[in-house]
Amino acid sequence: MNTFLDNQNWRYATKKFDATKKISTEDLNTLKEAIRLSSSSYGLQPYKIFIVENPEVRAKLVTAAYGQKQVVDASHLIVFANELNFGEEGILKFSKNMSETRGISIESIQGYVDYMKSNITGLPEETRNIWSSKQTYLALGNLLNAAAELKIDVTPMEGFNPTQVNEILGLDKLGLNASLMATVGYRSEEDATQHYKKVRKSNEELFITI
């Protein structure tokens, strides 16, 4: 557990990446698996993950990210896109996957399937979109923790124009919306912010025991 806390103290939101350093295929696969294994509501994973490597596409995304150079300087750019209007079709795909993965019949999990349908499909579309967007934050958390263990830097980004990102990546046509971005790579020695002390609330201010 001490190693985990050491990693959390090591990581920070990197402001300047070393553009010459690239993440190995092995480490990238580890990060992808950490995202894939992330928890999500009902286990539904109502999102897609885009690994943006194309330099021309990333250059376009800098403008959508209000000029933040991490988008092009980092080794990789990851875009978390939540599914819009998630409903019965997504639930049925999940139930089919569960059936095949666990070697059980659809009938044996029909009660759970119906339970998910009753709790999700009846919600207004806007509420479902907010819900699916929140799930991407859980996946981001897994990415942050796995990357810190590998001593890979990650900068979570909400500061971008989703409409522009959606247009550049063609997400609208896929029924998706860019909810989060994360630049992933290695900090530059010139990034002074890596030496700043981490500012957090004290235990006394943050935690309330009832």
The enclosing domain of 30 has a CATH number of 3.40.109.10
| Residue 7 belongs to some domain of the structure | no
Query: Could you tell me the residue range of the domain that residue 69 belongs to?
Result: 21-206
Residue 92 structure tokens: 């049925």
Per-residue pLDDT, averaged over 4-14, amounts to 96
| Residue 193 belongs to some domain of the structure | yes
Q: What's the rounded Cα separation, in Å, for the pair 82 and 45?
A: 9
| Residue 39 belongs to some domain of the structure | yes
How does pLDDT run across 98-109, given as a tens digit for each residue? 999 999 999 999
| Residue 69 belongs to some domain of the structure | yes
Count of structural domains within the chain: 1
| Residue 6 belongs to some domain of the structure | no
| Residue 45 belongs to some domain of the structure | yes
The SS3 of residue 168 is: helix
| Residue 10 belongs to some domain of the structure | no
How does pLDDT run across 109-165, given as a tens digit for each residue? 999 999 999 999 999 999 999 999 999 999 999 999 999 999 999 999 999 999 999
| Residue 181 belongs to some domain of the structure | yes
Q: Report the candidate in 60, 69, 80 with the shortest Cα–Cα distance to residue 15.
A: 69
Please give the share of the chain, as a percent, with pLDDT higher than 70: 100
How does pLDDT run across 161-199, given as a tens digit for each residue? 999 999 999 999 999 999 999 999 999 999 999 999 999
